[in-house]
Amino acid sequence: SAVISQKPSRDICQRGTSLTIQCQVDSQVTMMFWYRQQPGQSLTLIATANQGSEATYESGFVIDKFPISRPNLTFSTLTVSNMSPEDSSIYLCSAKTGNRAPHEKLFFGSGTQLSVL
């Protein structure tokens, strides 16, 4: 298993500002992901954070809006840039653990609840 620490847990931000969310895993993991969960909705994958290289973004998400860093195998950050009220969501960091399929399991951080005024 893995324990994922995510911070901040919540924040209220002004329109046009940026917020960086940090994610720390207590063990080395191969894959880290960032998800967004809008109110009342399921999870939408923003990007896969790749260690030592640029993140892989899903359709509808771009690096300028959601820059991601992953300097090592246990840490990643997601920045929500130039925020608008539409960015109000829960942002979730996750990691996949296990040596190989089919033993791999997905774990999540506690989430960051973001409100943009």
**Residue 117 near other proteins by CB under 8 A:** no
Instruction: Work out which of 41, 72, 82, 84 binds other proteins, going by CB under 8 A.
Output: 41
Instruction: State how far the Cα of 29 lies from the Cα of 72, in Å rounded to an integer.
Output: 10
Of these, 34, 70, 109, 116, which contacts other proteins (CB under 8 A)?
A: 109
* DSSP-assigned letter for residue 98: S
Question: Are 14 and 117 spatial neighbours (Cβ–Cβ below 8 Å)?
Answer: yes
Count of residues that bind other proteins according to CB under 8 A: 27
67 part of the interface to other proteins, by CB under 8 A: no
Please report whether residue 15 would count as binding other proteins according to CB under 8 A: no
42 lines the binding site for other proteins (CB under 8 A): yes
- Of the residues 52, 60, 85, 102, which one makes contact with other proteins according to CB under 8 A: 102
Task: Kindly state the tokens that stand for 96.
Answer: 């996949």
Q: Cα 56 from chain centroid?
A: 12
